[in-house]
A and B are shown apart, each in its own frame.
Chain A
């Protein structure tokens, strides 16, 4: 059955859906620009568990010194 009659309730729902859609869209855009800004600042791109490899020779020196 096709919906032919617009009810006031539909208008409210549409407004709510439109509002939420815009908020979510805006959030996605914000996260995008935030990422760009962070990258430009040279923020760390490694994962939280990333371990920087020790420079060559460091381990040997540490052993000598220790």
Chain B
């Protein structure tokens, strides 16, 4: 007899299961946008402090992912896309996810405060609260606008990165927030158009389910329009410049054209070609965000660029 035979738990979590609890793919987006927010901010930050700040922002985001998985285990189990997550699949107990989420949240906020400043740490704490309490516990199961409000949580990282360097909030960091905030709904609704997830079975009011695809297509265009002034406004702000502005103009034109194309399509046509335009628009939305922030970064790296408060 080995000692393992007396252990009744069938599935023992590996280290990777705990990592999966932190939603590494969401984390990568957080790391990228927070890093850009930090690098475009006026002034400078010690590389070690900057690395630590990005790490703690990522850990904070991961912790809110773990808390989300703890709370949503019941509905995650009902949807194909999420049924394989560590908690619904039984590899990690829900209480464990809760404990890890709370512990890592506190650790990340305290460490970010010690490494940088209270404004950055306060914003991180608010982001975690917003994602877990406002989005996960309240809005997600209540309103088809859940994605809109939930997107705010994903929009905070560049603001936190900015605050880590400057110790404050400014129009530039608010514009970066707005860019992600307004980008999130069209990005997710495009996905919801072609991924037939079991939202209704799980009781999650997704716009495509509650109001139909027609309404989702209209909403996508509305947000694509709202993005234009924010994106171009960022180009005229202190962190923008000719390079960013030209990239933004092209991206916005493409995004608007894509959104208009989606609006003109009907369900029969979309189903006939396997949602090609919807999938293309979803891919474009990923490029949109990546290239917008990439251009901001390039603008900051350009020699002689206008740096507010800098040289």
List A residues at the B interface (Cβ < 8 Å): 3, 5, 7, 9-10, 12-13, 15-16, 18-20, 30, 33-34, 36-38, 40-41
Contacts and interface: CB of A to CB of B under 8 A. Distances in A.
B2 A5 contact: yes
Interface string B40-57: 000000101100100100
Given A34-B48, A34-B115, A37-B48, A7 B4 contact: yes
Given A12-B14, A16-B15, A34 B2 contact: no
B15 A18 contact: yes
Nearest to B14: A12
Interface string B1-16: 0111001000011111
A7 B2 contact: yes
B52 A16 contact: no
Interface of A is mostly: helix
Contacts of B49: 34, 37-38, 41
* B: contact size bracket: 10 to 19
A9 B48 contact: no
A18 B14 CA distance: 11
Given A3-B3, A7-B4, A12 B13 contact: yes
B18 interface: yes
Interface string B242-263: 0000000000000000000000
Contact of B18 (A10, A16, A36, A37): A16
B73 to A, nearest CB: 21
Contacts of B52: 30, 34
B13 A16 contact: yes
- Of all A-B residue pairs in the complex, the 8 with the closest CB atoms, nearest first, are A19-B15, A7-B4, A37-B48, A12-B14, A37-B46, A5-B2, A16-B15, A9-B4
Contacts of A30: 52, 55
Nearest to B48: A37
